[in-house]
């Protein structure tokens, strides 16, 4: 998308979310533009969904507009610039100039508040998971870039091509992973309200080569021991030490004492406690993941692939991000992501079946046609929120397809052929460049591709034959134009009078 198109997309979105004055925060993840809104009732959902660049919308603790990978990273800064410009140009509203809210506006605001209070994703545990996600999501672009370079470099090494270049590519691909603990520490301190550089400083201790000369719990430490989990714990500790210092240290010496005590206290605890403990946990995660797939591969794949979509709906999938990162740090790839990606394959198969079954529902078929290409590339939100979840039963059959694809990949793990990903974030076809495993790349790609095909096929068949009741097909399989609901069409067309019964 060209810069002027990105700007145009941002300009089109801005008034539909209530204007710059209604936006309290702007951020983005891999596929979604995340907006904090002062007044949710000012958003025009239907008009937003009708924009060509918008793949869907999701309501959570923030208002999330699905734009897709790549596009969202370009539109976000354009929107931020427009918001800043609008804020600079806006004149203060004269006192008393506010219009009195109408009854309908108050009712809408009340309904929004009621729904917000009922939102399940506002529990303390899920808010904590979102904090963890906020730490790791900014690292995903680097993981993807380095992962693709690592995969390309591995191919060159196996083919014995360009031997003078491959060492340089190894350094480029490995540099980030060697220092990932520092970035995790920096982001952790930032997320928990501390000074980011102090969090990064304490986390840097974990990757410092000199820790090999230190003994803790009767064992010599090794550089990197504890990994991202150790960095996470160290930076959280540093944040609390820093906050305590800010509260009790006199202002005259705060600039000297607070950073010194923060680094010293949290650094000592990290070296003589957290590195060992986090190292044991990290090792346990790797051992458990390998044991699970080696011994119960097909069953584990069926459960993980089948339950991933519900986990996404509940927001619990964010708990997997540190686990993926730990596995990549330890083994070079995460064996869980390719299995979880099968959930998207089941969703695609489900959507194709819905398209086939509802031959006369132009509205739903138009949504599927526009969202299916993104679904093949692993962006599933438009199909989930626009098709399967509102229909109900197709969401369940989509999960069945994901379970079948996960079981397929898990079965090969039991045979010793592990399929992994060198980064997190992409899914579907977009995951192919990041695939790695313990066998040759061709076999790894074939197994993953086979899993996708199984997910597509089972998701299609399960939805086609079991995704609709007869009543659902009668209600939904109407000749409805795009943008017109079956209910609206039924209300617009009077029910023909019954012919009198003949004796």
Annotated active-site positions, please? 29
Rounded CA separation 437/290 (Å): 12
What are the backbone dihedrals phi and psi of residue 495, each rounded to the nearest 5 degrees, phi first? -75, 125
**Got the DSSP string for 17-80?**
TT-GGGEEEEEE-SSEEEEEES-GGG--HHHHHHSTT--EEEESSSEEEE--TTHHHHHHHHHH
Residue 29 CB neighbours (<10 A): 17
Residues 6 or more apart from 291 whose CB is under 8 A from it?
A: none
Report which secondary-structure segment, H or E, holds 117.
helix 103-118
Q: Are 451 and 342 in contact (CB under 8 A)?
A: yes
Q: Which residues of 452-469 are buried (b: 16+ CB within 10 A; e: fewer)?
A: bebbbbbbbbbbbeebbe
Report which secondary-structure segment, H or E, holds 436.
strand 435-437
**Can you give the three-state secondary structure of 65-90, one letter per residue?**
EECCCCHHHHHHHHHHHHHHHHHHHC
Place of tokens 């596995």: 327
Rounded CA separation 72/53 (Å): 10
């Amino acid at each position: 998308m060209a810069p002027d198109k990105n700007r145009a997309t941002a300009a089109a979105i801005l008034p539909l979310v209530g204007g710059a004055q209604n936006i309290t925060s702007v951020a983005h993840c891999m596929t979604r533009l995340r907006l904090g809104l002062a007044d949710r009732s000012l958003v025009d959902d239907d008009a937003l969904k009708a924009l060509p660049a918008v793949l869907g919308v999701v309501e959570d603790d923030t208002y999330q507009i699905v734009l897709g990978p790549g596009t969202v990273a370009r539109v976000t800064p354009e929107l931020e610039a427009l918001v800043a410009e609008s804020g600079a140009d806006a004149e203060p509203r004269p006192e008393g100039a506010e219009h009195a809210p109408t009854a309908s506006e108050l009712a809408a605001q009340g309904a929004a508040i009621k729904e917000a209070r009922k939102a399940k994703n506002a529990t303390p545990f899920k808010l904590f998971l979102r904090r963890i996600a906020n730490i790791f999501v900014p690292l995903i672009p680097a993981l993807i870039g380095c992962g693709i370079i690592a995969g390309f470099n591995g191919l060159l090494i196996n083919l014995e091509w360009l031997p003078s270049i491959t060492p340089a590519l190894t350094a480029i691909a490995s540099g980030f992973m060697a220092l990932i603990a520092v970035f995790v520490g920096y982001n952790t301190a930032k997320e928990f309200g501390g000074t980011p550089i102090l969090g990064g400083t304490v986390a840097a201790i974990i990757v410092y080569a000199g820790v090999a000369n230190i003994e803790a719990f009767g064992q010599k430490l090794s550089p990197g021991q504890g990994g991202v989990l150790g960095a996470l714990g160290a930076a959280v500790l540093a944040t609390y030490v820093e906050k305590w210092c800010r509260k009790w240290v006199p202002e005259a010496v705060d600039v000297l004492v607070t950073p010194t005590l923060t680094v010293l206290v949290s650094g000592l605890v990290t070296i003589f406690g957290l590195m060992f403990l986090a190292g044991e946990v990290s090792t346990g995660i790797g051992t458990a993941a390998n044991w699970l797939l080696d011994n119960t591969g097909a069953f584990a794949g069926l459960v993980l692939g089948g339950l991933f979509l519900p986990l996404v709906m509940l927001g619990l999938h964010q708990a997997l991000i540190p686990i993926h990162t730990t596995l990549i740090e330890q083994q070079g790839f995460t064996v869980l992501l390719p299995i979880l990606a099968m959930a998207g394959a089941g969703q695609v198969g489900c959507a194709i079946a819905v398209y086939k079954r509802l031959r006369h529902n132009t509205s739903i078929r138009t949504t599927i046609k526009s969202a299916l290409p993104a679904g093949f590339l692993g962006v599933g939100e438009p199909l989930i929120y626009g098709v399967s979840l509102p229909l109900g039963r197709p969401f369940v059959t989509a999960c069945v397809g994901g379970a079948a694809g996960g079981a397929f990949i898990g079965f090969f793990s039991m045979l010793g052929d592990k399929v992994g990903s060198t980064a997190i974030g992409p899914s579907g076809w977009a995951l192919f460049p990041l695939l790695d495993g313990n066998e040759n790349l061709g076999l790894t790609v074939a197994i993953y591709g086979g899993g996708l095909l199984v997910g597509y096929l089972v998701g299609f068949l399960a939805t086609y034959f079991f995704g609709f009741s007869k009543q659902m097909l009668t209600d939904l399989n109407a000749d409805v134009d795009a943008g017109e609901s079956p209910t609206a069409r039924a209300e617009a067309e009077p029910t023909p009078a019954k012919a009198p019964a003949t004796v």
